[in-house]
Chains A and B, each alone.
Chain A
Amino acid sequence: MHELSITRNIVAIVAEAAKGRPVDRVTLEVGRLSGVMSTAIAFCFDVVAKGTALEAAQLQIKEIDGRARCHDCGDEFDTPDLYTSCPCGSHRFTRLRGEELKIKTMELREVA
């Protein structure tokens, strides 16, 4: 369960960027082939965020489907898992999407 470690990274990165201001929302992109479970990050988030600038933050996770371009036929195709080959039969391709593990945005509370 590496998601606790990953969630700690997320909270640390955002808290540092927020420079002490309270954070109301954090948006992540998590690819379905990233090896990280969105549900597990959500599960850990409250515990990890407690006592930080993210304590009251809403976590939004956008899951990205896998997509690749084949080296042999040049077509793009969906990759629901890591071992799906191109419909043409080739196992050689470039992943276009689906391995993201990224903090996209944060929303800072207006301080009066």
Chain B
Amino acid sequence: MCAVCGCSDGATATITDLRHDGHDHVHADGTRHSHDHDHGHGHDHHHDHDHGHGHGTGTLVALETKVLAKNDALAAQNRAWLAGREILALNLVSSPGAGKTSLLERTIRDLGGALDLLVIEGDQATSNDAQRIRAAGAPVVQVNTGTGCHLEAEMIARGLAVLKPAAGAVVLIENVGNLVCPALFDLGERAKVAILSVTEGEDKPLKYPHMFKAATIMLLNKIDLLPHLDFDVARAIANALQVNPDIIVFRVSARTGEGLDAWYGWLRREALRAPEDAFAAICSGPAGVTKQMEETVS
């Protein structure tokens, strides 16, 4: 199980700067090496799992600590850093192949003149996606997670340090293609944008409810393929709403451009609201994002 997917912590992530020709790799231990590129380019029911072989006769210490406290604290730092610069950050999540990179390429080409767009690319390996983003015209850093199957707040902090977005910019974070793990790790973003393509099943939101519950909007992508498929759009949207009654859905095709104006309109509106985040930065959690669930009472 671990050996197959083997999530790791941020210690093995590599940050690659693709803002210009010839880029540096910065490793977690601070080592850096450069390359030059030629391009073109009410009741608890529970059972206990006991594990190990200790015998409790010692001092009991109450910790009451959230396991993800460290990541959440770093995410809060990222959120405050972004808010202070009036930068909008979005976390794009989907299965592999749903069209995140194509959507980003198109968004950069269509909106690059109006918005200062920058990208943090997350993948287990290769800088292929970052090369595509750079070709589309946006500054980009690639985060390679190695064996990790999601981005964490610490990787974003390091990515932002390299990317150095200007005040008022929009940072689009493309997470590792995975509908499970990225749902749990706050990066400090304003909102999660879930992308579901019509070549997947209508029941994806029910199969991966954590992600669709955590998302503010869902882009139903590849709608140009609908004539060739038996995909039931209404059912897919109903499934998403069942998990998250507040989710906003746009039907788009990154290939033909159909429906993208609605996504662009939302993006522009959110970018205009970035200054509000400065006031909300003192609170934990994304500013202005409607949550289906209120804070868990534990």
Q: Please report the C-alpha to C-alpha distance between residue A96 and residue B148 in the assembled complex, in whole angstroms.
A: 31
**Which chain A residue has the least Cβ–Cβ distance from B241?**
A91
A110 pairs with B54, CB closer than 8 A? no
A5 pairs with B148, CB closer than 8 A? yes
Partner of A1, one of B4, B67, B293: B4
B65 pairs with A60, CB closer than 8 A? no
Q: Which of A42, A76, A95 has the largest count of B CB atoms less than 10 A from its CB?
A: A95
A102 pairs with B298, CB closer than 8 A? yes
A5 with B7: in contact, given A45-B51, A100-B296 (CB under 8 Å)? yes
**Which chain A residue has the least Cβ–Cβ distance from B206?**
A83
B65 pairs with A13, CB closer than 8 A? yes
Contacts of B57 in A (CB 8 A): 24, 109-110
Q: Please report the C-alpha to C-alpha distance between residue A103 and residue B180 in the assembled complex, in whole angstroms.
A: 22
Partner of B49, one of A10, A24, A59, A96: A59
Q: Please report the C-alpha to C-alpha distance between residue A1 and residue B213 in the assembled complex, in whole angstroms.
A: 19
A102 with B65: in contact, given A3-B7, A35-B210, A95-B293 (CB under 8 Å)? yes
B8 at interface by CB-CB < 8 Å: yes
Q: Please report the C-alpha to C-alpha distance between residue A61 and residue B51 in the assembled complex, in whole angstroms.
A: 9
- For B26-44 the 0/1 string (1 means CB < 8 A from A) is 0000000000000000111
- For B46-57 the 0/1 string (1 means CB < 8 A from A) is 111111111111
B58 at interface by CB-CB < 8 Å: yes
Query: Among residues 112 to 153 in chain B, which have CB atoms less than 8 Å away from a CB atom of chain A?
Result: 148-150, 152
Per DSSP, chain B at the interface is loop
B63 pairs with A104, CB closer than 8 A? yes
B54 pairs with A5, CB closer than 8 A? no
A82 at interface by CB-CB < 8 Å: yes
Q: Which of A5, A56, A92 has the largest count of B CB atoms less than 10 A from its CB?
A: A5
A56 pairs with B71, CB closer than 8 A? no
- Chain B nearest Cβ from A84, distance in angstroms: 10
Contacts of A56 in B (CB 8 A): 52-54
Query: Among residues 190 to 237 in chain B, which have CB atoms less than 8 Å away from a CB atom of chain A?
Result: 206, 209-210, 213
* 6 closest cross-chain pairs (CB), A and B: A82-B209, A2-B181, A1-B5, A58-B54, A24-B54, A58-B52
Apart from A25-B56, A38-B49, A97-B297, list 9 A-B contacts with CB within 8 A.
A1-B5, A5-B8, A9-B71, A10-B67, A43-B2, A57-B54, A83-B242, A92-B292, A102-B298
A: which residues have CB within 8 A of B? 1-6, 8-10, 12-14, 17, 23-25, 28, 35-36, 38-40, 42-47, 56-65, 67, 76, 81-83, 85, 91-97, 99-110
